[in-house]
Structure 1
């Protein structure tokens, strides 16, 4: 029993040392990347592309991002006004993105109406869009593209919906506890659930995306040296195969959206953590402070409060 306890203690100590070492190295890794941008931004070089593929899903990149937010957290604990500024910036970013791409819902409806008219009324097999050099595809291409509009809304409006408090909350104990206990639950949820989930989705979707963009296919288990060796045979092989012969041919965009969605979840997990902490510290009077929430402005003849989106 003593030997098992000692082994567990050594394992825990090694884990803590590993984390601290990676946090310390994050400053060096970030500085090295900024000082040598040609190593990863010059995409005329296949090795630069492979470096992006590797580092985008690497431990080094993860600790650079986490260390960046830890520094923000440290400054914010010293100056709460700065932390409120970070919250407002991240929430404004999520709101702006959501308010732009929510219009994809309207485009989806209008395009579906056009498809029905072209098929049933005019009996046309293709639809042309554009001036001068129009973009012409089979009707089935436009019909399958509707999935992409739906994906835009799901992936890029997800954090907007969270800011607007539009997600369904499964409430077992939340409503019965005090204000500050709720904020503690929110903070724990951000760290234990949102952030790890975002990291796991990112790790899966990052290499999933690149396997549909280049060959030879990269793998998350391959070290940088092996990927650089593969770079000699690298060529672009962007996925253009649809579900039907004349269907939508840009399914690689769905993989890109999956990566963007994971990144947005991770960013807003930090924003939600900071807001929960600040509201916990400042008390009930700070609830929804600086929150830019959309409301319906139509007059309410029944005297009820305006419905929130």
Structure 2
């Protein structure tokens, strides 16, 4: 019994050691892969070459890409820990990008409302089966096409405003234990949440969404289990086959955009997780006086002041 226990412990330690070695090897290889990709962009960005497309497909959802991102993030984090102003700069750039993107695509909500009103008017008042927009070359689609397009506007808001909503503190959170905690405890919880919840979720969505997207853009359809050599063999027969089939005969015909937005959603969540991790760390190090430092939150202050002045 003792011998079997010692053998099991030895095997477990060997497995852990092998895993650590595997991570370190891939991390070291990542720096070489980054340099090679930057110095040979034609191998994966020249989409006139079918093999370049397949390389892009493979590496976008590969272990190599994961460790390349991890290596870049690790270097930036180490520099930021040594020089806090650099990390604050990263936070401001990432949050500024997220805010700008979210504020722009938030207008899709207004477009969704206006289009719904037009659909109701055209159906109930003018009893038209279609809507024609004529500016030189007429654009004519069935009412059901515009009705299904409302999902597209909703997807724009969800995909591109998720990080913006997070920065603005607009997501629903249950903080029965979080709210009464001390400032330092809150920041530790935030850091752990970024590393163990937000980042893994974003990576999983990206890994599944990446091949899901490409399977609706090209044929032969790539698979997550395909090796690079197999994808390069498929490149001989590769052709673009962008999905244009709607749920109804006359429905919205650009459903491939939803797959692209799924990948964009994962990328934006990951970037916001990095920004939140850095902000939480810096606020933890600098103390409560840095809470909300450089945070660009929307405010209705001017409207509130005008209201108070009128009363």
Partner of 1:202: 206
Q: How does 1:85-124 map to 2 (within 5 A)?
A: 85-124=89-128
Q: Which secondary structure does the structure 2 equivalent of 1:185 belong to?
A: helix
Find runs of 4+ consecutive structure 1 residues off by over 3 angstroms: 300-303
**What per-residue deviation string (whole Å, max 9, x for no partner) do you get for residues 58-90 of structure 1?**
000011111111110010011000000000000
Would you say 1:266 and 2:263 are equivalent positions? no
CA distance in 1, matches of 2:138, 2:184: 58
Give, in angstroms, the shift of residue 136 of structure 1.
Answer: 1.5
CA distance in 1, matches of 2:55, 2:185: 44
CA distance in 2, matches of 1:94, 1:86: 12
Partner of 1:306: none
Would you say 1:29 and 2:33 are equivalent positions? yes
Would you say 1:283 and 2:287 are equivalent positions? yes
Partner of 1:247: 251
Give, in angstroms, the shift of residue 112 of structure 1.
Answer: 0.9
Give, in angstroms, the shift of residue 177 of structure 1.
Answer: 1.4
Would you say 1:213 and 2:217 are equivalent positions? yes
Cα RMSD for the two superposed structures:
1.2
Query: Bigger shift: 11-20 or 269-278?
Result: 11-20
Give, in angstroms, the shift of residue 302 of structure 1.
Answer: 8.3
Partner of 1:135: 139
Compared with structure 1, are the counterparts of its residues 91 and 241 closer, same or farther at alpha carbon in structure 2 (3 Å cutoff)? same
**What per-residue deviation string (whole Å, max 9, x for no partner) do you get for residues 171-217 of structure 1?**
23111211001000000010001100000000110000011111111
Q: TM-score, normalised by structure 2?
A: 0.95
Give, in angstroms, the shift of residue 257 of structure 1.
Answer: 0.3
Q: How does 1:1-309 map to 2 (within 5 A)?
A: 1-129=5-133, 131-296=135-300, 297-299=302-304
CA distance in 1, matches of 2:195, 2:304: 41
Q: TM-score, normalised by structure 1?
A: 0.96
Query: Bigger shift: 120-129 or 34-43?
Result: 120-129
Q: Which secondary structure does the structure 1 equivalent of 2:135 belong to?
A: coil
CA distance in 1, matches of 2:119, 2:193: 44
**What per-residue deviation string (whole Å, max 9, x for no partner) do you get for residues 240-259 of structure 1?**
11111100000010000000
**What per-residue deviation string (whole Å, max 9, x for no partner) do you get for residues 213-270 of structure 1?**
1111111011100111111111111111111110000001000000000000111111
Alignment length, in residue pairs?
Answer: 303
CA distance in 1, matches of 2:246, 2:222: 23
Give, in angstroms, the shift of residue 34 of structure 1.
Answer: 1.1
**What per-residue deviation string (whole Å, max 9, x for no partner) do you get for residues 123-177 of structure 1?**
2222123522232211110111000000000010000000001111112311121
Q: Which secondary structure does the structure 2 equivalent of 1:174 belong to?
A: coil
Structure 2 residue ranges without an equivalent (≥5): none
Q: Which secondary structure does the structure 2 equivalent of 1:129 belong to?
A: strand
Structure 1 residue ranges without an equivalent (≥5): 304-309
Partner of 1:307: none
